[in-house]
Chain A
Amino acid sequence: MDRETVEKVAKTARLALSEEELERYSRDLSEILDYFRILDESPEGDGVGVDPVEIADIMRDDVPGIFMDPYELLRDMKTYENYVRGPKLL
């Protein structure tokens, strides 16, 4: 994977990489993708294995409820008037 691609992927993944990291990950990921090439030879098939076992659809009654105390959840968060604080949008 060339350095420009690593940079593009890092931006998508919200990672700010140093020059040294860009070089190193470019090298590592190229080796890893080479290793993945064997997948090109693997046979096709009809299905896809999203889960390794059959997963039943579980439904529950649509009854409103509080499963966890929201104030307890906020306990360890940085908050302002019970809103979670975050960086500025603009």
Chain B
Amino acid sequence: MASLPKLNEKYSMFSCITDDLETKGFRFLFSAKDNLTSKDMETRCGSRILEGYRPVFDATAIDRMRKAGGKLIGKNSMDEFGFGTFSTNSAFGVPKNPFDPERSCGGSSGGSACAAALIDGHISLGVSTGGSICCPASFCGVYGIAPTYGRVSRYGLIDYGNSLDKIGLISSDPNKLTEFLPVISGKDPKDPTSCAQPEPGPKGRKIRSAAVPKEALESISKDVRSSFESSLETLKSMGVDVKLTEMPFLKYAMPAYYVLASSEASTNLARYVGMRYGRQDGDLTLKFDDYFASFRSEYFGDEAKRRILLGTYARMAGFRDRYYAKALKVRLHVISSYKKVFAGCDAVLTPTMPFAAPRFDEISKMAPVESYSADYLTVPPNLAGMPQLSVPCGYDGGGMPIGMQLVTDHWAEDPLLTFAADWESVFETRRPEVSP
């Protein structure tokens, strides 16, 4: 605990660290993405507009971790409101990749994955809207699970896309995912979407067969392809029957996701107007429209403004059917595509990201569409609300981690957790060299 502030100076995985370094009496330490409300620490969501926000209640996931004996040691850096793939859209420190500080941790739960990679036995709460747990888990060489939509209560989660947001876990130890997913899961009357969930199925179910969609392999880097193909051989040696399949509907998932996520975000962010939460230091002598507009323009970051504009446009009269309504139809087609595959096999298998963690100078040159496109493997299961797991599966020539993603049917988290534990025994995971 004493070395955390120094470690954080180098890697910026926490936007806030607890003042109370006493760990006596706690069963375990954990951290949480900074879009989960916490009573004892500021919650800023990576946004200047929420500076100073001190919630009066804990998010259910944090509350359940505390009740299980956990100590919350810090809030993890993240892209502003979750808007990003590389955690570079953070107002309070951009997390640096533990394998190479010149590279990204991925996003938007980048700080969570960074902490999981750097701190032995650490467990961190992440949140995934379009793959924001699997992406950073892949870039940081750790295990990450985003369970079925509704498995974990969203109470106390600062909404990005209400129909997409999933709270999950990241750790370098897959057994921690197995240990803590039941802790944070379960019905919560404060979030009706959590109340539809069935009880977890029998434990220990294995993934016996997996389908690889051809479409998923079209735009991946040479290093990712090589690691993924080598992993397929390992899977076969584990007794998993791997076959190729076609999922043509996946090509519609990305634009549908960005329409829905931006539309929902643009309404959710309407509440930030310089009153009630966070910063409230605007000029109250202005007329209310001018006050709201000037405050929001000053304190929202670049990507937040872009997504607000996009979402507002997609919901406007005359465009709603073309974008928003169409995206809702696409979601059903994507769910149906997955269900068809699951009728014949246990999991859909792809690389997690099309490339290993990019350098910050490469990211700064990316156009928004290029950056959005990087999520094309993690977005479809998130759009469909399916559980998704990323496991480390290789390293590129420079030693940067590469991840593999498994998706199972709604509510079938247990086979993913069993797989993660089995995978750890056949894949040699590397740990980064930590130098504070």
Q: Does B235 contact A (CB under 8 A)?
A: no
Q: Mark B171-199, 1 if CB is under 8 A from A, else 0.
A: 00000000000000000010011011000
User: Are B53's CB and A53's CB within 8 A?
Assistant: no
CB <8 Å contact, B259 and A39: yes
The distance in angstroms between the C-alpha atoms of A47 and B331, with both chains bound, is: 10
Please name all residues of chain B whose beta carbon is closer than 8 Å to the beta carbon of A5 when the two chains form the complex.
Answer: 313
Contact B326–A39 (Cβ < 8 Å):
yes
**Residues of A contacting B286 in the complex (Cβ-Cβ under 8 angstroms):** 87-88
B304 (CB) vs chain A CBs: closest residue: A15
Instruction: Determine which residue in A16, A54, A60 has the highest number of CB atoms from chain B within 10 A of its CB, and name it.
Output: A16
Q: Which residues of B contact A50 (CB under 8 A)?
A: 163, 328
Q: Is the CB of A9 within 8 A of B330?
A: no
Most buried by B among A35, A38, A53: A53
* B329 lies within 8 A of A38 (CB): no
Across the A-B interface, how many residue pairs have beta carbons closer than 8 Å? 180
B195 and A75 contact, CB distance less than 8 A: no
Q: Which of B20-28, B212-220, B272-280 contacts A (4 or more CB under 8 A)?
A: B272-280
Report if B384 contacts A (CB, 8 A).
yes
Which residues of chain A (24-81) have a CB below 8 Å from chain B? 25, 28-29, 31-32, 35-36, 38-40, 42-45, 47-58, 60, 68-69, 72-73, 75-78
Interface residues of B in 306-328 (CB under 8 A from A): 306, 308-310, 312-313, 316, 322-323, 325-328
Most B Cβ at <10 Å: residue of A14, A21, A68? A14
Pair A28/B367 contact, Cβ less than 8 Å: yes
B71 touches A (CB below 8 Å): no
In the assembled complex, the CB of B370 is this many whole angstroms from the nearest CB of chain A, namely: 9
Q: B133 to nearest A CB, angstroms?
A: 16
Instruction: Tell me if A52 and B297 are in contact (CB < 8 A).
Output: no
From B276, B322, B369, B384, give the contact of A52 (CB < 8 A): B384
Query: Which residues, 187 to 244 on B, are CB-close (under 8 Å) to A?
Result: 189, 192-193, 195-196
B219, chain A: closest CB distance, angstroms: 14
- A28 contact set on B, CB distance < 8 A: 306, 367-368
**Interface contact B163-A17, CB-CB below 8 Å:** no
Q: Which residue of B lies closest to A26 (CB)?
A: B309
Contacts of A21 in B (CB 8 A): 305
Nearest opposing residue in chain B for A51, CB measure: B163
Select which of B294, B323, B335 is within 8 A of A16 by beta carbon.
B294
Known: A25-B306, A31-B368, A39-B327. A68 touches B56 (CB 8 A): yes
In the assembled complex, the CB of A49 is this many whole angstroms from the nearest CB of chain B, namely 3
**Chain B residues, Cβ within 8 Å of A85:** 275, 280, 284
- A interface majority secondary structure: loop
Within the assembled complex, what's the spacing in Å between the Cα atoms of A14 and B179?
45
Do the beta carbons of B291 and A87 come within 8 Å of each other? yes
A12 touches B312 (CB 8 A): yes
> What's the minimum C-beta distance from A73 to chain B, rounded to whole angstroms?
6
Task: Tell me whether B149 and A86 are in contact (CB under 8 A).
Answer: no
Decide: A49 and B284 in contact? CB cutoff 8 A: no
Please give, as numbers and ranges, the residues of chain A lying within 8 Å of B57 by CB-CB distance.
68
Q: Mark B283-302, 1 if CB is under 8 A from A, else 0.
A: 01111111111101100100
Known: A16-B296, A51-B163, A90-B287. 10 other contacts (CB 8 A): A25-B309, A29-B309, A31-B369, A35-B369, A35-B373, A42-B249, A45-B329, A49-B335, A56-B195, A88-B286
25 A-B contact pairs sorted by A residue (CB < 8 Å): A13-B266, A13-B309, A15-B309, A29-B306, A29-B310, A32-B310, A32-B369, A35-B255, A39-B252, A39-B322, A39-B323, A40-B322, A44-B329, A48-B331, A49-B329, A53-B148, A56-B195, A68-B56, A72-B56, A76-B277, A77-B275, A78-B280, A85-B275, A87-B290, A87-B292
Binding site for B on A (CB under 8 A): 1, 5-6, 9-17, 21, 25, 28-29, 31-32, 35-36, 38-40, 42-45, 47-58, 60, 68-69, 72-73, 75-78, 84-90
B residues apposed to A, CB below 8 Å: 52-54, 56-57, 148-150, 163-164, 189, 192-193, 195-196, 249, 251-252, 254-256, 258-259, 266, 270, 273, 275-277, 280, 282, 284-294, 296-297, 300, 305-306, 308-310, 312-313, 316, 322-323, 325-333, 335, 367-369, 372-373, 383-386, 410
Closest 5 A/B residue pairs (Cβ)? A52-B385, A49-B331, A87-B291, A48-B328, A16-B293
